[in-house]
């Protein structure tokens, strides 16, 4: 009589922390064990990192941490042998639809979204799916391997060969996400399959860990911890000791018993220039995310987790969360002609210019896209789509590249006038006064109706665009800023006296 082999035991640890500089925790995670999955999978592991403010980030991550495992569980009831990648893709689409629907229903949550990294294990096969910059690592024989590629502007530069991974890790803009859950009706998900060996250690984490702790130190902690929960605790404490500038979540799973260490001369360390057994050197830590975090942080630390929140019997998962995804590609419109004349109510303008994107941009590219996003360009000439509501930045199609200004021996002159004026949909003209560092507004007939827009708030304005709402966007000293438009209040002392047709 043939005996069925016992499944390889998987030990799991998990922990999340709000960090030192955030008021709320938007990270969430989920763990579902073999028993809750009726033996059809060994486990489901997930980390989500939400964003959005006003309570949106933690909502998006919680929805994702609940919907992905629940969908996988439901799919297995009807298709017990469904392929792992198919399970992940369907579950991510279900979570994306849930978040997208919720953000459309509630005004205060319309900018919410979340990253997500999820792992399924079945009979020694590991399947990974991810969206955003939450990561999956695998430790084997003392070597830490990254199983995911961040959906961020700097990682796309790596893939294009324009930046090394070391440069990306230290780049201050590594937190600018190009893909996430909940922003568009559909989400593009990356997946991969891997064969596990006994003794392998899997780590899922939010970027609050990798922003603060080097991969070399992560490998050192994982290989020297006797228990997954101990590893999680040490990883979180290390992130906090390095500054704790963001919410931080770590989920560690060990496949089978702990593997004995290789002799130092036989191991392959993560850092090929130094052995992780020895003292770590000081390394530059990249800037942490600037998106605001919302929701209460708490620490969870058991081996196999208890069901939280929505009361699904036999489920085991914990919720906390962070970030999201970009819109489908839109046609690139370098010069969008005015549509039919619109009738604008009289407007006034704020006396402050709000920074929208803390990233250096070319000063000669700024257009309103048909979907309301902004078309901007990096200093290297790469066109980018910026959503002012979600503050998400994503590249536009690869062939949409603008050349650098041609070199010339001619004497430099002032920028041409096209950099300094634009029209709104009603035909009103907005013109930058570089000498006064402000914007003036004229009717189609040429009557000046507003002066000194942005005066005292602008440093070196060059390029501008006007949204249908009347809000003015301007490239000021290489940064994207906005000047909010309001219904005119003639007696207001807080707003300038400018008005529009």
pLDDT-derived band at 159 (thresholds 50, 70, 90) equals confident
Max distance between CA atoms of the chain, in angstroms, equals: 96
Is 297 a member of any domain?
Answer: no
Residues 6 or more apart whose CB falls under 8 angstroms from that of 43 comprise 10, 12, 31, 32, 33, 34, 37, 119, 120, 121, 253
| Entry field: residues in the chain | 501
Q: Is 471 or 371 the better-scoring residue by pLDDT?
A: 471
According to the model, what pLDDT value does residue 138 have? 98
Is 228 a member of any domain?
Answer: yes
CB 251 within 8 A of CB 28: no
Would the pLDDT of 302 be above 60? no
Is 274 a member of any domain?
Answer: no
According to the model, what pLDDT value does residue 233 have? 96
E-strand spans in 123-270?
Answer: 125-131, 135-140, 143-146, 190-195, 201-205, 248-255
Percentage above 90 pLDDT, the chain: 44
d(CA 463, CA 444): 20
Is 477 a member of any domain?
Answer: yes
| Dihedral over Cα of 368, 370, 373, 378: its sign | negative
Q: How many CB atoms lie within 10 A of CB 482?
A: 19
According to the model, what pLDDT value does residue 125 have? 97
Would the pLDDT of 476 be above 70? yes
Considering 46-50, 159-163, 370-374, the range whose residues carry the highest mean pLDDT is 46-50
CB 351 within 8 A of CB 486: no
Retrieve residue 352's tokens: 């402050």
Task: List phi, psi (to 5°) of 151.
Answer: -90, 75
Would the pLDDT of 21 be above 70? yes
Residues 6 or more apart whose CB falls under 8 angstroms from that of 290 comprise 175, 358
According to the model, what pLDDT value does residue 42 have? 97
CB 231 within 8 A of CB 252: yes
Mean pLDDT of the chain: 77
According to the model, what pLDDT value does residue 260 have? 55
According to the model, what pLDDT value does residue 402 have? 53
Q: Is 459 or 359 the better-scoring residue by pLDDT?
A: 459
Instruction: Using DSSP, state whether 371 is helix, strand or coil.
Output: coil
CATH of the domain at 187: 3.60.40.10
Is 325 a member of any domain?
Answer: no
According to the model, what pLDDT value does residue 404 have? 52
For residues 367-374, give the mean pLDDT: 83
Q: Of 238, 255, 272, which one is at a domain's C-terminal end?
A: 255
According to the model, what pLDDT value does residue 55 have? 60
Retrieve residue 293's tokens: 């975090």
According to the model, what pLDDT value does residue 397 have? 63
Count Cα neighbours of 378 within 13 Å in the Cβ-side half-sphere: 16
Percentage above 70 pLDDT, the chain: 73
Query: 204-242 in b/e burial notation, b at 16+ Cβ within 10 A?
Result: bbbbbbbbbbbbbbbbbbbbebeebbebbbbbbbbbbeb
Would the pLDDT of 433 be above 50? yes
Per-residue pLDDT reduced to its tens digit, 237-295: 999 999 998 999 999 999 998 765 554 444 444 443 333 333 222 222 223 333 333 23
Count Cα neighbours of 455 within 13 Å in the Cβ-side half-sphere: 14
Same domain for 226 and 96? yes
Per-residue pLDDT reduced to its tens digit, 164-197: 878 877 777 777 888 999 988 999 999 999 999 9
Angstrom CA distances, 481 to 190, 318, 417, 419, 438, stand at: 33, 39, 20, 15, 13
Instruction: Using DSSP, state whether 89 is helix, strand or coil.
Output: helix
The strand pair at 392-395 and 113-122 is best described as unpaired
According to the model, what pLDDT value does residue 488 have? 66
According to the model, what pLDDT value does residue 127 have? 98
If you search the block for the tokens 């440069």, which residue do you land on?
A: 167
The mean-pLDDT minimum among 286-290, 398-402, 458-462, 482-486 falls in 286-290
Per-residue pLDDT reduced to its tens digit, 312-341: 333 333 333 332 332 222 222 222 333 333
For residues 227-237, give the mean pLDDT: 96
CB 366 within 8 A of CB 499: no
Q: Is 133 or 51 the better-scoring residue by pLDDT?
A: 133
Q: How many CB atoms lie within 10 A of CB 309?
A: 13
Q: Is 253 or 387 the better-scoring residue by pLDDT?
A: 253
Helices 215-224 and 228-241 pack at an angle, to 10 degrees, of: 150
Q: Of 228, 255, 282, which one is at a domain's C-terminal end?
A: 255
Per-residue pLDDT reduced to its tens digit, 434-449: 888 999 998 877 788 8
Is 141 a member of any domain?
Answer: yes
d(CA 357, CA 416): 25
Per-residue pLDDT reduced to its tens digit, 99-124: 999 887 776 677 789 999 999 999 99
pLDDT-derived band at 500 (thresholds 50, 70, 90) equals very low
Is 181 a member of any domain?
Answer: yes
Q: Of 211, 233, 255, which one is at a domain's C-terminal end?
A: 255
The domain total for the chain is 2
For residues 118-140, give the mean pLDDT: 97
According to the model, what pLDDT value does residue 326 have? 28
Per-residue pLDDT reduced to its tens digit, 449-474: 888 899 999 999 988 999 888 899 99
Residue 382 belongs to what domain range? 347-401+414-487
d(CA 1, CA 501): 88
- DSSP-assigned beta bridge partners for residue 486: 348
Same domain for 245 and 363? no
Count Cα neighbours of 213 within 13 Å in the Cβ-side half-sphere: 28
Residues 6 or more apart whose CB falls under 8 angstroms from that of 381 comprise 362, 401, 402, 403, 404
Considering 21-25, 41-45, 244-248, 368-372, the range whose residues carry the highest mean pLDDT is 41-45
Q: Is 303 or 137 the better-scoring residue by pLDDT?
A: 137
According to the model, what pLDDT value does residue 53 have? 57
Same domain for 248 and 120? yes
- Of 440, 467, 442, the residue nearest 356 (C-alpha): 467
The strand pair at 248-255 and 347-349 is best described as unpaired
Task: List phi, psi (to 5°) of 66.
Answer: -90, -45
Residues 6 or more apart whose CB falls under 8 angstroms from that of 240 comprise 17, 19, 20, 248
Instruction: Using DSSP, state whether 38 is helix, strand or coil.
Output: coil
For residues 398-421, give the mean pLDDT: 47
Strand order in the sheet with 27-33: 27-33, 43-51, 113-122, 125-131, 190-195
Is 23 a member of any domain?
Answer: yes
Same domain for 81 and 217? yes
Helices 84-105 and 56-78 pack at an angle, to 10 degrees, of: 140
Alpha helices in 79-214 (DSSP H): 84-105, 153-159, 165-170, 207-210
Same domain for 384 and 242? no
The strand pair at 383-387 and 485-487 is best described as unpaired
């Amino acid at each position: 009589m043939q005996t069925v082999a016992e499944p390889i035991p998987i030990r799991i640890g998990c922990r999340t922390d709000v960090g030192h500089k955030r008021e709320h925790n938007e990270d969430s995670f989920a763990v579902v064990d073999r028993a809750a999955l009726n033996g059809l999978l060994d486990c489901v592991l997930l980390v989500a990192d939400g964003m959005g403010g006003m309570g949106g980030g933690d909502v998006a991550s919680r929805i994702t941490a609940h919907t992905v495992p629940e969908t996988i569980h439901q799919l297995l009831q009807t298709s017990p042998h469904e392929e792992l990648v198919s399970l992940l893709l369907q579950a991510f689409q279900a979570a994306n639809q849930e978040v997208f629907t919720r953000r459309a229903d509630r005004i205060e949550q319309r900018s919410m979204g979340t990253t997500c990294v999820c792992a399924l294990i079945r009979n020694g096969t590991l399947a990974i799916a991810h969206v955003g910059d939450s990561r999956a690592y695998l430790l084997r024989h003392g070597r830490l391997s990254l199983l995911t590629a961040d959906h961020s502007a700097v990682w796309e530069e790596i893939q294009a060969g324009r930046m090394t991974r070391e440069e990306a890790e230290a780049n201050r803009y590594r937190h600018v996400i190009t893909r996430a859950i909940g922003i568009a009706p559909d989400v593009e998900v990356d997946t991969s399959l891997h064969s596990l060996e006994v003794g392998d250690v899997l780590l899922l984490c939010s970027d609050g860990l990798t922003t603060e702790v080097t991969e070399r130190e992560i490998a050192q902690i994982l290989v020297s911890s006797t228990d997954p929960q101990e590893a999680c605790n040490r990883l979180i404490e290390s992130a906090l000791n390095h500054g704790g500038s963001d919410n931080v979540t770590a989920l560690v799973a060990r496949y089978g018993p702990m593997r004995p260490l290789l002799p130092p001369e036989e191991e392959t360390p993560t850092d090929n220039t130094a052995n992780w057994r020895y003292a770590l050197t000081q390394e530059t830590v990249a800037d942490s995310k600037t998106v605001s975090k919302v929701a209460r942080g708490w620490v969870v630390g058991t081996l196999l987790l208890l069901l939280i929140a929505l009361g699904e019997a036999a489920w085991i998962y914990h919720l906390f969360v962070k970030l999201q995804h970009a819109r489908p590609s839109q046609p690139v419109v370098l010069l969008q002609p005015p549509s039919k004349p619109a009738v604008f109510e009289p407007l006034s303008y704020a006396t402050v210019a709000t920074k929208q994107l803390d990233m250096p941009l070319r000063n000669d590219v700024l257009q309103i896209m048909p979907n309301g996003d902004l078309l901007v360009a990096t200093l290297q000439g790469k066109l980018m789509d910026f959503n002012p509501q979600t503050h998400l930045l994503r590249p536009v199609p690869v062939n949409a590249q603008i050349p650098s200004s041609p070199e010339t021996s001619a004497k430099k002159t002032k920028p041409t006038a096209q950099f300094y004026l634009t029209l709104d949909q009603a035909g009103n003209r907005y013109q930058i006064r570089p000498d006064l560092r402000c914007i003036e507004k004229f009717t189609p007939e040429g009557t000046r109706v507003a002066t000194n827009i942005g005066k005292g708030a602008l440093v070196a304005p060059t390029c501008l665009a006007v949204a249908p709402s009347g809000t003015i966007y301007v490239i000021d000293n290489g940064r994207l800023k906005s000047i909010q438009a309001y219904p005119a209040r003639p007696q207001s002392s807080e707003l300038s006296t400018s008005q529009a047709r």
